[in-house]
Amino acid sequence: FFSPISRCLEPPAEVPACMAADRKRARSPPAESCSGNGFGASADRNGCAWRHGNSWASQGSQSQHGNAPGTSLPVWQHRQAIVECIKAHRVVVIVGETGSGKSTQIPQFLLKEGYLSVACTQPRVISAITLSARVASEMGTRCGDTVGYAVRFDNVTSECTRLRYVTDGILLQECMLEPSFAPYDVVIIDEAHERSISTDLLLCLLKRSAHSRLKVVIMSATLEASKFSAYFDGAPVLQIEGKQYPVAIVHAPRPAPDYAAATVDEVKRILREEQDQGHILAFLTGEAEIEDACAEIKRFDAQGRLQVLPLYAALGPAEQRRVFEPSRCQKVIFCTNIAETSVTIDGVSFVVDCGHRKEKHYDAMARVETLQVLPISQASARQRAGRAGRTKPGKCFRVYTEGFHNQLARETTPEILRSNITSFVLQLLQLGFSTGEIEALPGLDPPPAPAVHSALATLRLLGAVDPQGRLSAWGSHMCRLPIDATLAHTLLQAHELDVTEQVAGVIAMLSVPNPFTSTRQQRDCAARAFHHFKHQDGDHITLHTIMDHYLWACGDEGEGAAQFCYNHWLHERHMHQAAQVRQQLLQTLQRLGAPSRTRLIRDPSDRLREAFFRGGWALQLAYRVQTFYYHTVTDGRRCCLHHSTAVKGSEKDAWVVYHEAVAQGGEDEVPALRICSRADPEWVLRLAGEASSDRCPRPDDPLAPALTPNPNRDTHRWLADLWTPQALQAVAEL
């Protein structure tokens, strides 16, 4: 299943003695080997773990939910009205308050009414899995039979499955092949208020679907119902009350300088002072904060009477399931906004809300995307507080003041208004939208015109759109790859440098969370392990080295994937997921007829750097202005190198290609360029004299029809329009 891609490389070296000593002090040995990963796993013939989806889903439903039919939920009182309304109208908007039972019961109503195929979308993997397990239990069937779920790399359905809980991304992939939603009688868009790009695109496709018998149900607990109703030409709106116990809201008396520390301190105060022994659910913004908080509370709990658990998207299903399992101990759960909606954790009496979340924001004019920690919306604050009142009365402690809360935005900003929509526009083109239709897209919240123009310009630059604004063959190939448009372009042309497999591995590593352990007490050990792989010319080579050694360990000659990850302080699940992404990309290339197997190269470092330089083209370059500081070429923004990068910022690193810019700390902090590699000056000079559509493909290139030479193009004029005068001057000085 996973085969090493560079047999000529030496196998991974032994862990240094200091690292081994650190590991023994700070970490217990793994409980499983490569032949089993602890959550219903078995191994393929190369020793890599894989999971049989049915096993834990059905077990979880039995242990967690029993056979409760859900008839006591408020939505049952409206069953007949809901069914009749859906029968009478093509689109129905349902606003169901927290605890109403809409996500589990309404799909069952439709099955019992005779609808043969129902899809219910969820914004997160954990929601799709837990809801399908619960509904299967209520219906007395095994997950994967009548009820199943489909998420990335895990499809627990069968030919007899009538109700599928799917992530919005999975349903969108199906739409690329069948835009009319013909396989379904009913499509339910649940938690529509989250407004991901995939959800907005699905709503756009559902509005123009020619499938006349298709029923569409839009559901959420906090929803601007009139807005959705107007978008679907006056669709009826049904209101369902929730089963919510009273929740007391307590705000902090004064602002906290550090929301993460304040959240941990509030959890400690609850454990010391509150009489109720109910579970505690505390919201933070990311994995590192959560792991540090868990470690701090474990140290605080000297008697070991607590069960301290993390909950975030990068955790494996088995680790996420622990949050829902019954426990005699009081649970303290630190989570991201993954637990805001669609997930019920029984026994939660206290919620601690940090008031922040991580969001990506894209500057269309500067063509720079940054990951920022920002305040949540009032709608999110209500959802978080509601987690404390699902099964009994509770309290919500907000570590921010009431004045801060009153200044929050009412609703969360839709992703389409704050993100890079290049891939979104590419999907619309693939679905038959013209550039004119995209520029005048009648969405719930149409993307800003500068963002649309920037996306179209980027796609033209990458060769995905021809001069007439139509999707090119190259763009069609890009759309078939389930990755960002720029990365898809990088992968498709990697075969010209004979590094397709290496580039696929690096892109896979960029598609999963940080593979190195990130708790505070293990960070130094992980940093030393990272140094073991670090390459001075850039992080893309470092990621390739890690993936290559991991694939070697998965084979018969290596020490096994689990032991390799343990020795080098790597998350085994993250590495396994990256290997799956790599395999998926290579298989997709084979289906497209593109070369996916390349000849062995003893040292692919320079070619790998050049492949990502070509892929990013003129968009993700920066030039050095002083040690460690750079300016981006598209807007002249001052940036520094991220602390994790292998690039030193010396004179040798005058030009770098970067993956993303990450916002840091306060407003005065400059963005940090993350995942950087050195760009050779001769590449920059060559770029200044050519564009992607100006180069002639090799005669034997199977993708040659996608590359159409354009001898009339004024490339210098094009570069002058795209880069700042200072960047052009930096090129001239080369």
Inform me whether the pLDDT recorded for 596 exceeds 70: no
Residues 6+ apart with CB under 8 A from 351: 247, 280, 281, 282, 283, 384, 385, 387, 388, 394, 395, 396, 397
Per-residue tokens: 190: 């649940």
Domain boundaries, the chain: 17-28+491-592, 55-240, 247-415, 617-732
Q: What is the phi/psi pair of residue 324, to 5°?
A: -95, -15
Q: Which helix or strand (DSSP H or E) is residue 146 part of?
A: none
Residues 6+ apart with CB under 8 A from 531: none
Euclidean distance between CA atoms 651 and 673, whole angstroms: 17
Euclidean distance between CA atoms 734 and 729, whole angstroms: 9
Supply the pLDDT for residue 568.
86
Please state which of the ranges 258-267, 394-403, 593-602 shows the lowest mean pLDDT.
593-602
Most confident among 248-262, 329-343, 612-626, 715-729 (mean pLDDT):
248-262
Domain 55-240 has CATH 3.40.50.300: yes
Inform me whether the pLDDT recorded for 694 exceeds 60: no
Residues pairing with 289 in the sheet? none
Could you give the C-alpha distances from 669 to 289, 355, 637, 660, in angstroms and in order?
A: 20, 21, 12, 16
Nearest to 575 by CA among 316, 289, 336: 316
Q: For residue 326, give the DSSP letter.
A: -
Residue with tokens 């995209």: 438
Q: Do strands 672-678 and 638-641 pair parallel, antiparallel, or not at all (unpaired)?
A: parallel
Nearest to 377 by CA among 273, 482, 224, 480: 224
Supply the pLDDT for residue 651.
87
Q: What angle do CA 604, 609, 611 make, to 5 degrees?
A: 90
Q: For residue 9, give the DSSP letter.
A: S
pLDDT in tens, 483-523: 999 999 999 989 888 899 999 999 999 988 888 766 555 66
Supply the pLDDT for residue 7.
28
Residues pairing with 237 in the sheet? 93
Supply the pLDDT for residue 34.
32
Residue with tokens 């009414």: 113
Q: What is the mean pLDDT of residues 388-398?
A: 89
pLDDT in tens, 160-208: 999 999 999 999 989 888 888 989 999 999 988 888 899 999 998 898 8
Supply the pLDDT for residue 218.
95
Euclidean distance between CA atoms 620 and 633, whole angstroms: 8
Q: What is the phi/psi pair of residue 496, to 5°?
A: -65, -25
pLDDT in tens, 283-307: 999 988 999 999 999 999 988 999 9
Bigger pLDDT: 12 or 309?
309
Inform me whether the pLDDT recorded for 696 exceeds 60: no
Q: For residue 183, give the DSSP letter.
A: T
Q: For residue 471, give the DSSP letter.
A: B
Euclidean distance between CA atoms 633 and 694, whole angstroms: 21
Amino acid at 76: W
Just give the CATH number of 247-415: 3.40.50.300
Residue with tokens 């080997």: 33
Residues pairing with 482 in the sheet? none
Q: For residue 419, give the DSSP letter.
A: S
pLDDT in tens, 602-636: 788 899 999 999 887 678 899 999 888 999 998 88
Most confident among 119-123, 527-531, 633-637 (mean pLDDT):
119-123
* Local confidence band at 712 (pLDDT 50, 70, 90 cut-offs): very low
Q: What is the mean pLDDT of residues 628-646?
A: 89
Inform me whether the pLDDT recorded for 379 exceeds 60: yes
Inform me whether the pLDDT recorded for 278 exceeds 80: yes
